[in-house]
Amino acid sequence: MKIPWVLVAAILGSAMSFIDSTAVNVSLPVLQRELHTTTGQTQWVIEGYALFLSALILTGGALGDLYGRRLVFAIGIVLFAVASLACALAGTVEILIAARCVQGIGGALSTPGSLSLISAAYSGEARGRAIGLWSGFSALTSAAGPIIGGWLTQTYSWRYVFIINLPIAAIVLLILIFGVKESRDETADRRVDVGGATLATVGLGLLVYGLIEMNAARITPLAVGTAVLGLVVLGIFVLFERRVSDPMLRCDLFASRAFSVSNIYTFFLYTAIGGSLYFVPFVLINVHHYSPTAAGAALLPFIVIMVAASRWSGGLVARVGPRMPLLLGAIVAGLGFLAYALPGTDGSYWMTFFPAAAVLGCGGALFVAPLTTTVMDSVGTEHAGVASGINNAVARTAGLIGVALLGVVVTAAPSYLFGFRGAMIASAALSFAAAVIAAIGFSRSSRPMVAAKESRAST
């Protein structure tokens, strides 16, 4: 059997970023004590990574299309590995934060590159299945992150949370060198859109910084002003890109109805997911007195169901179109969020949070892989990196907005439990809104643009 090396490299490369995004959280208490950090410094260990990842992910996708997806993906892996080593060896929190920022840059180069490599290597239903496997393993590694991070920190040291990235990076680089062909957008000029990259970075950076400052209901004039300024800069970025001959952001991609609707759908649904799941561990630990590792493991049903169904659901778009799986997925996810709002302060896990995690997992199985497939199929293969970067930026920005907005709901309530319930109900409303978007935005007979083109070409 021929081993799909492109898929293996994409999954392993993404795994480093996804594990790191969640595993570090568990190690923060020990890290804070050993490095004698303040609360603000500890927060920036997480947010420095997230900030640069969100701000530069558009640039990463565009650079892959320009200079070669394998090359840019490999550079991202190298940056991530070197920064991981610097994190592991950091003697001060300042060095650690700086290394985490570099990790974010590496993740911004490698994350969109993984999907664009898959899109360039596969087509039609095979692409859907490949993306489904990628989505499933990505979800699995994200869920395993807290468990891995807690075990490594407790058994060895928080530094091992970063060291585990090194052997994974070495394997990915070997596969890229010997088993993956290069691909790029041959129609693009060999120029870097410096103006666009700068505006996108500054705009997203200001927006993310402002949203971070709004966490825990810290809605200060500075935070609001920074976020608004970020939106203004992003508006200037869009206007700038419309006038550039070879832009980083292909505004003409939004002429595709499927691409535009998919990104609006992504924004609503990932605002709900990113915001709500941020607070689940807190209610488990603070109200139900779970250990950090047990709180991370409580979400495993959500992940296991998605992994088990991802290969099947990845091919749904090619068979029935995007409308039905995205519509049903958002509705079921909304029911899962409502189930999270039901438990009180007692009861066993199997009667409280397990049903909610299982229902949410069924919803995720219906929308995660089909949504990614729809986004990638709605544009030509030569623009896969840009499309991936845009959708990743939308999803990550939506998650940050979700944390900020739902944080206001949680902190305004008389107790954490009431606030958590309000956040889950708000998440359900956002999910149902995404379902309406899918119902209106996609026709009953809609099929992915690229798949339809390939079908016509074959006849």
Let me know: does 84 contact 162? Beta carbons within 8 Å: yes
Instruction: Using a cut of 0.95, tell me whether the model's pTM lies above it.
Output: no
Average of per-residue pLDDT across 268-275: 88
Write down the pLDDT at residue 341. Answer: 92
Q: Who wins on pLDDT, 247 or 224? A: 224
**456 pLDDT tier (thresholds 50, 70, 90):** very low
Tell me: the pLDDT tens digits for 383-398?
Answer: 766 777 788 778 877 8
Q: How far is CA 272 from CA 318, 341, 403, 425, in A?
A: 27, 14, 9, 10
Tell me the residue length of the chain. 459
Fold of 1-190: Growth Hormone; Chain: A; (1.20.1250)
The pair of three-digit structure tokens given for residue 458, joined into one six-digit string? 């074959």
pLDDT given for residue 451 in this prediction? 42
> What six digits make up the tokens of 100?
């985490």
Is the CB of residue 404 less than 8 Å from the CB of residue 306? no
Determine the average pLDDT of the residues in 5-14. Answer: 87
Q: Evaluate if residue 455 carries a pLDDT over 70.
A: no
Same fold for the pair 1-190 and 252-459: yes
pLDDT for 449 equals 46
Report pLDDT digits (tens) over 400-441: 677 767 877 877 778 878 889 999 999 999 999 999 999 998
The CATH T-level fold of domain 252-459 is: Growth Hormone; Chain: A; (1.20.1250)
In this prediction, residue 432 carries a pLDDT of 97
407 or 359, which is more confident = 359
pLDDT winner (highest mean) among 22-31, 163-172, 299-308, 320-329: 163-172
pLDDT value of residue 163: 93
Using an 8 Å Cβ cutoff, are 132 and 369 in contact?
yes
Q: Domain map of the chain by residue range?
A: 1-190, 194-243, 252-459
Residue 344 and residue 287: Cα distance in Å, rounded?
9
Q: Is the Cβ–Cβ distance between 108 and 17 less than 8 Å? A: no
User: pLDDT > 90: what percent of the chain?
Assistant: 24
* Cα distance between residue 455 and residue 458, in whole Å: 5
Say what the pLDDT of residue 414 is: 81
What backbone phi and psi angles, to 5 degrees, belong to 168? Answer: -65, -45
pLDDT for res 29: 66
Judge whether 449 and 261 are in contact, CB under 8 Å: no
Confirm if 194 and 386 have CB atoms less than 8 A apart.
no
- Residue 295, pLDDT score: 73
Residue 158 DSSP symbol: T
- In the predicted model, what is the mean pLDDT of residues 190-195? 72
The larger pLDDT score, comparing residue 112 to residue 425, is at 425
Mean pLDDT for 243-255 is 77
C-alpha–C-alpha distance, residues 23 and 40, integer Å: 19
Task: Please name which of 368, 401, 142, 183 lies closest in space to residue 276, comparing C-alpha atoms.
Answer: 401
Token pair, residue 147, equals 């468990």
- For all residues of the chain together, what is the average pLDDT? 81
Q: Would you state the pLDDT for residue 445? A: 55
